[in-house]
Amino acid sequence: MERFIYFDHAAATPMDARVFEVMEPYFMDAYANPTSIYKFAQKSRSAIERAREKIAEFLQTEPREIIFTSGGTESNNLFIFGAAEVLQKYGRHIITSQIEHDSVIEPLKRLETKGFEVTYLDVGEDGLVKAQDVKKALRDDTILVTIMFANNEIGTIQPIAEIGEVIAEFRKTKKVTSTEHHLYPYFHTDACQAAPYLDISVKPLGIDAMTLNGGKIYGPKGVGALFIKTGTPIMPQLFGGGQEHRMRAGTENVAGIVGFGRALELVQSARVEESQRLLVLRDRLINGLLQAIPRSRVNGDLHKRLPNNVNVSFYGLEGEAILLRLDMIGVAASAGSACAASSLEPSHVMRALGLSDQWTHSATRFTMGHGNTHEEVDFVLKNLPGIIKELREVSPFA
């Protein structure tokens, strides 16, 4: 069998067989529309609510605060557009970072065309948002703050709880009149990459909304969730039926929701053990590459990063050439976000680190997961130095 090593789990994870097992009955057997009132349909309804309760348990919140969506992009769009629409009468200032996912950046750019003002916080070479920078950026007309929990490209883990404390303290200084119904700014985090490895209990984080995605946790693609804390104002963006507490119209993806609930249960239950296992592989790969390949660097903080993320640059090369050579030997990696893979330009995340083009163009991301082994890491360490050497010999920039 041809060798194949999958090091692109940040883009998509394979479905866990235990997830598919619980989904299967809802494709062929329990297929009724969950909004119907007869007993057969209530099997679907009950399955959705059990999944909602399971997710709420891991987030340490209430089931009514979980809204099912089609994935991370929809959840991010729903919160940003939905909250901005309600809160614009109180202010039009939003705070985010320069390294957010496109499904946050693009909605914010859209809002800027409608008169909103967005502050994009710098991160520096370590790829970390500073809580003090959030504090400095807060204004009386700030209605939203959205900072991702863990970055999808460079794997840096942001100080969400610390930022939450800053926002909570700022709220105490605000004067709320009797005509105001909302204590803003509200705090949202995209936790799609964080869910398999970090504690996502919402109360310690001080957040009002959180985005999750089934395709990043060994569950089905095309399903996600948005936690919305009770009292957080939001306007639905899809209108029709009364599904999802009238927050997201459309017949529910029953099989997907069931699988999502099971997938989150599995990754959260095993996150400590799996994180420790992957941390060994991550550091083995990082240290091996830096030692074997001259003019190489790790992008993002070495310690405050996800246990499965290795993002490295090799001075003077193009990432696409590296990926093609890796693919030829059966290794799947990426140059950044899968959502922007068609672009030949360095991602906005890499540019935000303040590095020169000679570094940003060669950024290569290895993200490990279930099933990856020491032998696979050693295979990359054995072959990648030679690939880099050969590419540099023919590169006019290296």
Q: Kindly report, residue by residue over 385-396, the tens digit of the pLDDT.
A: 999 999 999 987
Nearest-angstrom CA–CA distance, 351 and 329: 29
Nearest-angstrom CA–CA distance, 377 and 24: 34
pLDDT of 189 > 60? The answer is yes
Residue found by looking up tokens 């909103």 in the block: 116
pLDDT of 175 > 80? The answer is no
Mean pLDDT over each residue of the chain, to the nearest integer: 94
pLDDT of 338 > 60? The answer is no
Residue 97 confidence (pLDDT): 98
Residue 182 confidence (pLDDT): 59
339 is catalytic: yes
| Band (344; pLDDT cuts 50, 70, 90) | low
List C-alpha distances in Å: 269 to 54, 262, 266: 12, 11, 5
pLDDT of 179 > 80? The answer is no
pLDDT of 227 > 90? The answer is yes
CB-side exposure of 267: number of CA atoms within 13 Å?
A: 31
pLDDT of 117 > 60? The answer is yes
pLDDT of 1 > 60? The answer is no
Nearest-angstrom CA–CA distance, 183 and 233: 10
Which position has the higher pLDDT, 215 or 395? Answer: 215
Catalytic residue (choose from 235, 338, 339, 398)? 339
pTM: 0.94
> Of 256, 281, 107, nearest to 188 (Cα)?
107
Which position has the higher pLDDT, 384 or 241? Answer: 384
pLDDT of 398 > 70? The answer is no
List C-alpha distances in Å: 376 to 6, 114, 185, 284, 367: 9, 49, 46, 11, 12
Residue 242 confidence (pLDDT): 84
Residue 241 confidence (pLDDT): 86
What percent of the chain is modeled with pLDDT above 70? 95
Give per-residue pLDDT as tens, 48-86.
999 999 999 999 999 999 999 999 999 999 999 999 999
Give per-residue pLDDT as tens, 257-276.
999 999 999 999 999 999 99
